[in-house]
Amino acid sequence: MNKNHLDRRHALPIAGEDHARLTIDLGALASNWRSMSRRSGAARTAAVLKANAYGIGLESAARTLFAAGARDFFVASPAEGATLRPIVPDGRIFVLSGMWAGSERLFFENDLVPVISSEEQLAIFMAAIADRSDHPCALQIDTGMNRLGLTVADATALATDPARPASFSPVLVMSHLACADDPAHSMNRTQLDLFRLATAAFDGIDASLANSAGIFLGEDYHFDLTRPGISLYGGAAVNDVPNPMKPVVTAEARILLVRDANAGETVSYGASAVLMRDTRIAIAAIGYADGYLRSLSGTGVPLRQTGLSGASGFLHGQRVPVIGRITMDLSHFDVTDLPKGAVRAGDFIELFGPNIAIEDVARASGTIDYELLTSLGARYHRNYVEAER
């Protein structure tokens, strides 16, 4: 390496254990749950904790939401439910994937409520409780997603079947909205009408339809129990309207190196980013292995050929754009417009948080904030800011 090349560097990395960190505001998480509870009106408000509480950490999220008042929780798998049980000993835990042969023990030992979504699951559940006292379950009805759930016709037939076992008595009937993030979509009303038809056959049993976006659709969609997920974690539930939720997660990465490059030089793989000016570049210890998606790159990936710009970071009071391709462990940011010497190795750059909304970063990558949160890698150091009691 020649001397001139060395002179174009400003500093060596500062030693430190953590190169990427998440600050998780549990006070904001609790506030968001209380906000969604108020919006739910007379309905009880659950909390969705699947996928490690949308990436922020199951234990801390569950303790916070339980303290805020949540008593109903939804997870994806019985293993998640078993992990959650000791954290919320008095909570009711619904398992969205239902019961399958071999998982019965987890349900019984941890008092988990399977969400029955098919005739096969119903048969497994009935066989599992044949030699036991009654065990609660929920019934999922498909109202248009063509995903999980009995058809409306099959569900109503089950409700009125005189041969239905007396021990099959669901504590909840539920469905899931496909288009609630678009309030004007006709599918919302279609699903609501079908769900009302189905629940009429299960008189006296609690009903649940509204996810985060469904809560914003209004009282007609609330029924007895709402199920907010992304809104609790600060994400935007409804398209093209200001997000009223408090940001919960701030993601930051350490600057490892600040270097100068000349106009006409290129940046990162593929040489797809050609510098149009003399540029000061900050290289941050963050990449797609950490869930900072390659599609956030400034250039050189298919999404960028649409003419959309890539992501930006926030550093010393100013947005700074990603340039070149994001790589597995490293990303480049153009810090030329910050005062010379302001950016130093060891500084941390905000990737999303209070200054850069997570939904804006998701939009830049061509995805949704759900994916960004649930893709957060294991290399982040997680720092929890406790909620006030």
Task: Answer whether residue 212 shows pLDDT above 50.
Answer: yes
Task: Answer whether residue 388 shows pLDDT above 80.
Answer: no
Task: Answer whether residue 294 shows pLDDT above 90.
Answer: yes
Give the active site residue among 54, 246, 269, 292: 269
CA 110 to chain centre: 25
Q: Please report, as a single letter, which amino acid is at residue 15.
A: A
Q: Is 50 a catalytic residue?
A: yes
Cα end-to-end distance, the chain, whole Å: 57
Q: Is 293 exposed, middle or buried (0-12, 13-18, 19+ CB in 10 A)?
A: buried
Rounded average pLDDT over 332-356? 96
Nearest to 305 by CA among 297, 314, 313: 297
Q: From the options 3.20.20.10, 3.40.50.2020, 3.40.109.10, 2.60.120.430, give the CATH code of 41-227.
A: 3.20.20.10
Give the active site residue among 3, 50, 340, 380: 50
Nearest-angstrom CA–CA distance, 202 and 159: 6
- C-beta of residue 69 within 8 angstroms of C-beta of residue 33: yes
Domain ranges of the chain: 3-21+247-385, 41-227
Band (305; pLDDT cuts 50, 70, 90): low
Band (3; pLDDT cuts 50, 70, 90): very low
Share of the chain above pLDDT 90, in %: 86
Rounded average pLDDT over 364-373? 93
CA angle (363 as vertex; 362, 365 as ends), nearest 5: 65
Rounded average pLDDT over 8-30? 76
DSSP 8-state symbol, 9: B
Q: From the options 3.40.630.30, 2.40.37.10, 1.10.10.10, 1.10.10.370, give the CATH code of 3-21+247-385.
A: 2.40.37.10
- C-beta of residue 207 within 8 angstroms of C-beta of residue 226: no
Rounded average pLDDT over 220-231? 98
Question: Which pLDDT belongs to residue 72?
Answer: 98
Count other Cβ atoms within 10 Å, centred on residue 38: 10
Task: Answer whether residue 10 shows pLDDT above 60.
Answer: no
Residue 313 vs residues 216, 225, 297, 342, 353: alpha-carbon distances, Å: 30, 38, 12, 15, 10
Q: Is 3 a catalytic residue?
A: no
Give the relative orientation of helices 58-68 and 26-39 as an angle to the nearest 10 degrees. 50
Band (306; pLDDT cuts 50, 70, 90): low
pTM attached to this predicted model = 0.93
